[in-house]
Amino acid sequence: MPKALHSLLLALLLLLPLAARAAGDADYFIAAKPNEQASLLQGWAAQPDPARLELLSSLQQGRLGPDDSRKLRLNNRLRGLVDNALASHRLLSDDARVRLAAAQQLQKSAQPAQVAFLDRRFASEPDAAVHAALGLALANLQLVATDPAVRLAAVRLLGETGDPMARTRLESLLDPSVETDPTVRTAAETSLAQVKRKLLIGELLGQAFSGLSLGSILLLAALGLAITFGLLGVINMAHGEMLMLGAYSTYVVQVLVQRYAPGALDFYPLLALPVAFGVSAGVGMLLERTVIRHLYGRPLETLLATWGISLILIQAIRLLFGAQNVEVANPAWLSGGLQVLPNLVLPYSRLVIIGFALCVVLLTWLLLNRTRLGLNVRAVTQNRNMAACCGVPTGRVDMLAFGLGSGIAGLGGVALSQIGNVGPDLGQSYIIDSFLVVVLGGVGQLAGSLWAAFGLGIANKLLEPQIGAVLGKILILALIILFIQKRPQGLFALKGRVID
Amino acid sequence: MNQPLLVTATQKAGPRLTLAVGALVLLVLIALPLLSLLPAGHSLQVSAYTLTLVGKILCYAIVALALDLVWGYAGLLSLGHGLFFALGGYAMGMYLMREAAGDGLPAFMTFLSWSELPWYWAGTQHFAWALCLVVLAPGLLALVFGYFAFRSRIKGVYFSIMTQALTFAGMLLFFRNETGFGGNNGFTNFRSILGFEITAQGTRAVLFLLTVALLAGSLYLGWRLARSKFGRVLTALRDAENRLMFCGYDPRGFKLFVWVLSAVLCGLAGALYVPQVGIINPSEMSPTNSIEAAVWVALGGRGTLIGPLLGAGVVNGMKSWFTVAFPEFWLFFLGALFILVTLYLPRGVVGLLKKRGEQ
């Protein structure tokens, strides 16, 4: 204990003059002209001093110090230099994550004057990831070194990254007037090919991932649709509005939590899940009882009636919440992302949604295959009359299944609110794609919906960069039309022997 | 039993009254454009606004009739008829744009700094080729789509969804600037048609009369079809396709014929719509428009010929009044109309009258 106290005192004593000097730096900085400020910052970046850390972080926020109210004007160039100097100082931090972020920043912004400092840190860096990142930052700078051997080593090092920055640097080296040494140029070509291959892998993985993400949303949207279509033989045109109701329920929950329990704001999406399920399922069951059950046996009319319902729901939401999008914020644990490759970041929100969609499928599967209700639903789907004869209360089953399908869409709405805009037209943009999922996947089959949703999602996103989003959609539609030539009942058809 | 006077009257007078009312309506429709030619300020003069509005509704009535042919008679609910309508409109619009631009490029292409016309614009400066396109573009698309759809026996809800996806894809395609049809803004600022100024009263009157003629022609065609053996087969197709097949008929040809005919009628209606309204843009292809056409037919009564015309007239008349008087309640009204008509008027207004008549 006394030892700790001792070192604390010592640190305080040491800090006193440093603090004074830092304050002096601030005065000096604000008095200088922009050009002088720039060279000042460059000097600081080349020779970092822990005492300036506070000043630089304040500068980054446009102030001179935490309690300093003097006005500060920085232009873009100065702001860039501040960021660079700050990164340079943060390399001295004890936290490896801070050092890593700083090294990555320096890969983009380091100046030749910082070579000596970076070299020293590179030699003494204990953490492997930071070491590699620093090596790259250094390599970027060494590309302009006078010694061809140093340049050659730097070019080879750059070839091992998959960084978009490295590609532009290497491309500039291919010009004989920039790089005079032919061996370095050849090495640059090889490195460039390596970098491009890595970037391509990253891009393809990124597209596949956004495809998975779109697929999981389509899955949540189409799952309920497939169940009700299989059961009742009707397409619920208001199904997209169930997504919208779910998203708006999330918004309302967020507002309420903000007002009454701001401490729990981080967990509002979890609270929104049951609320959205309840709201959508309730509205769905109400619709089934009041409108849809009167139209059994007339599927085309049901389609029109549910379209009417969707118009009313959209307009009601417009009158209640306004025609503009409402703001649904991501909680902290859903923002940010997982950096897999230099050009591939997987956002946490999308990862969570993919997992969530799979959980919902699993639960639905359990519900349909392991419960009494599920047994009834499957029985009615296969043969309504026979099920009724065996004592299945078909009316109640219809209502509950309709509620279940709508509730799943409501859950999809919660997921959508975390990655997209929430507006009255939200459902309309997903509904046609989810119809196609049902057509492609066949009715009443979870596996069909699963494959069709992810297949359509990935196909959409892979085609998008090659031929554009619109042509991709049209091509997919044409493919689906051709596909159902071969298999009119979708991917997974229920075998039945009913004919009219 | 208490019933409205109109119903009692219909019941009493029967077909003779229907014929008389029809003739009266036709007379009024022919008189309207002639009255619009009267000098401004005359007490009987019909304003250009009214004439355009009625002309627009007549075009919609043709769409409703075309949709009724496939839905009411053959049982195929198309949610993509807006696509055929818009294609006909765009084909006519291409000609009008060329006419307005003279020897140069249409204005929107100069904005995109294109230096020459895309290949599919070739020949559109000729009115005759534009007329061919009006028929060919929707007709061929319907032929190809219908061939594949009917070959694999897509019907019912599946067919509706596929047609809806088709018009949705068309809308996305025409929204792109690169497609070469003016993107978001579509075609507008037309000047003349066949050398006649497009906003002149005389041109408007002629276009209106042409629309009336097309409507009367389609009605006659529909009437002949419905009474022929072909119409009976279509109805049989709607009611029991399998049984019809067991009787030795191949339903594909019948479906394909009526489907393409309906698409071409829509295209012609679109071609008359564009010069009268003065604008065509991709929102005509939005799924909303096509499904709205279905409620016109449902309200009027499907499987009848007069019903869709009545439905198109009533709903569009209501729409132009509602969107001015209570703009925010129009969608509530339309939605309620969809629900109430399907729940309580399965055979539409005409069906109601007929049923009362039969009692």
Instruction: Give me the percent of chain A exceeding a pLDDT of 90.
Output: 26
The pair of structure tokens assigned to B39 is 């000098």
Calpha distance B106→B174 (Å, rounded): 16
Q: How far is CA B338 from CA A258, B129, B177, in A?
A: 39, 40, 35
CB contact under 8 A, B161 and A233: no
Distance from A489 to chain B by nearest Cα, in Å?
9
> What is the reported pLDDT for B201?
86
CA-wise closest residue to B192 among B266, B110, B102, B267: B102
Strands B192-193 and B196-197: antiparallel
Strands B187-188 and A344-347: unpaired
**Which residues from chain B sit within 8 angstroms of residue A228, using beta carbons?**
none
Q: Report the residue from B77, B241, B335 with minimal CB separation from A309.
A: B335
Q: Is A320 on the interface with B (CB under 8 A)?
A: no
Distance from B162 to chain A by nearest Cα, in Å?
8
> What is the reported pLDDT for A21?
54
Find the radius of gyration of the CA atoms of chain B. 21
Sites in chain B below the pLDDT cut of 70:
1-15, 356-359
Q: Is A436 on the interface with B (CB under 8 A)?
A: yes
Strand partners, B192: B197
DSSP codes, A3-52: HHHHHHHHHHHHHHHHHHHHHHHHHHHHHS-HHHHHHHHHHHHHS--GGG
Is residue B7 classed exposed, middle or buried when 0-12, 13-18 and 19+ CB atoms within 10 A define those classes? middle
Which of A315, A464, A482 should one mutate to test binding to chain B, selecting the residue with the greatest count of B CBs within 10 A? A315
The alpha helices in A160-181, defined as continuous H runs, are 164-173
DSSP codes, A333-360: GGSSEEEEETTEEEEHHHHHHHHHHHHH
CB contact under 8 A, A312 and B331: yes
Strand partners, B279: B188
- At CB < 8 A and 24+ separation, what contacts does B22-28 make? B22/B306, B26/B212, B26/B216
Q: Report the residue from B154, B242, B342 with minimal CB separation from A304.
A: B342
Calpha distance A227→A406 (Å, rounded): 10
Q: Is B295 on the interface with A (CB under 8 A)?
A: yes
Q: Is A311 on the interface with B (CB under 8 A)?
A: yes
Q: Report the residue from B156, B298, B331 with minimal CB separation from A304.
A: B298
Calpha distance A266→A230 (Å, rounded): 38
Domain residue limits, chain A? 30-200, 212-432
Calpha distance B272→B88 (Å, rounded): 9
Calpha distance B36→A339 (Å, rounded): 70
Q: Is B334 on the interface with A (CB under 8 A)?
A: yes
Q: Is A291 on the interface with B (CB under 8 A)?
A: yes
CB contact under 8 A, B77 and A291: no
3-state secondary structure of A162: coil
What's the angle, vertex CA B268, arms to CA B263 and CA B270, rounded to 5? 95
What are residue A34's phi and psi, to 5 degrees? Answer: -50, -40
| C-alpha A345: how far from chain center | 8
- Which helix (H) or strand (E) covers residue B188, if one does? strand B187-188
> What is the reported pLDDT for B2?
47
The alpha helices in B69-192, defined as continuous H runs, are 81-101, 107-111, 127-151, 156-175
**Which residues from chain A sit within 8 angstroms of residue B166, using beta carbons?**
477
**Which residues from chain A sit within 8 angstroms of residue B347, using beta carbons?**
none
What percentage of chain A's residues is helix, strand, coil (to nearest 5)?
75, 0, 20
Residue type, A339: Q
Write out pLDDT tens, residues B205-233: 999 999 999 999 999 999 999 889 999 99
Chain B's closest residue to A442, CA to CA, is B158
Sites in chain A below the pLDDT cut of 50:
1, 13-14, 16-20, 499-500
Q: Is B156 on the interface with A (CB under 8 A)?
A: yes
Q: Are B269 and B59 in contact (CB under 8 A)?
A: yes
Q: Report the residue from B154, B168, B343 with minimal CB separation from A488.
A: B154
CB contact under 8 A, A477 and B154: no
Give pTM, 2 decimals: 0.79
Strands A337-341 and B192-193: unpaired
Q: Is B29 on the interface with A (CB under 8 A)?
A: no
The pair of structure tokens assigned to B288 is 């909303």
CB contact under 8 A, B162 and A439: yes
CB contact under 8 A, B149 and A315: no
Write out pLDDT tens, residues B228-287: 999 999 999 998 888 999 999 999 999 999 999 999 999 999 999 999 999 999 999 999
> What is the reported pLDDT for B1?
40
Strand partners, A339: A345
The pair of structure tokens assigned to B175 is 């929204």
CB contact under 8 A, B337 and A319: no
DSSP codes, B215-268: HHHHHHHHHHHHHSHHHHHHHHHHH-HHHHHHTT--HHHHHHHHHHHHHHHHHH
Write out pLDDT tens, residues A60-115: 777 777 676 666 777 778 888 888 888 888 888 888 888 888 887 877 777 777 87
Query: CA end-to-end span of chain A, whole Å?
Result: 89
